Amino acid sequence: MSAPRIRFKTLKGFPPAVVEKIETEAFLEAATEIVTIIETFGKLFTPVVNDMNGNITKLTKVYNKDKALYAYLEDLIILNVNVDNFAANALLWLKRGLQLICTFFENIFNDTQATEALKLHLQNAYERTLKPYHGFLVQGTIKIIYNWVPTRSQLIGQGEAHDENLQVLENYLPVMRSHLNRIDALLKKHNLDDAKV
């Protein structure tokens, strides 16, 4: 029995939303952890990994200009609204990618049948998150990728390892989802969630 590709207990995860704002550095670290998870899916997922890493790099660049001023993600976005939409666009696409991953793992977690093939879970997550923003060519490429998603056993393991991953996901996913919902609301409030982008 091989070890699972992912051990969620080794991740720091998203910071608990104890304050009104999301800490920029902690959020970017958690997003980077998610990208390392996607890397375990295989080489076909490289475009997704590169896209998300690119958006994390853009946000990090803005954050590094003034870490005190941009300590919170909300401030980083709001204070740059009238300057340019560089940070907002990066956050918008990063949020969309994270929504795909969060929905995918929610589907796995909520699957009472513990289905081994995860293709339908990824397909469902894609259709509910990224598909509306992708053109015909990208959608065609994604259909090929579905067939290469690892199985449940490969991804989160079997037996104890599987149960441990599900246990951690029970707390991990709601915190991640709450962050994504807050970012969603922030972008919509400032008219930065453009469906055409």
Tens digits of per-residue pLDDT, 170-195? 999 999 999 999 999 999 998 887 76
- Other CB atoms within a 10 A radius of the CB of residue 35 amount to 21
Burial of 5 (0-12, 13-18, 19+ CB in 10 A): middle
Residue-level pLDDT at 27? 95
153 vs 81, higher pLDDT: 153
Q: Give the type of residue at 197.
A: V
Lookup: tokens for 155: 């991804």
Residues 6-16: tens digit of each pLDDT: 889 999 999 87
Burial of 1 (0-12, 13-18, 19+ CB in 10 A): exposed
User: Among 134, 121, 127, which residue's Cα sits nearest to residue 93?
Assistant: 134
- What are the CA-CA distances from residue 119 to residues 41, 123, 129, 131 (Å)? 12, 6, 15, 15
pLDDT at 72 over 70: yes
Residue-level pLDDT at 140? 61
130 vs 41, higher pLDDT: 41
pLDDT at 146 over 80: no
Residue-level pLDDT at 134? 63
Give the orientation angle of helix 24-39 with respect to helix 46-65, to 10 degrees: 160
- Domains of the chain with CATH codes: 8-189 (1.10.3520.10)
Residue-level pLDDT at 115? 94
pLDDT at 18 over 70: no
Residue 145 pLDDT grade (very low, low, confident, very high; cuts 50, 70, 90):
confident
CA torsion sign for 37, 41, 47, 48 is negative
Residue-level pLDDT at 123? 85
79 vs 135, higher pLDDT: 79
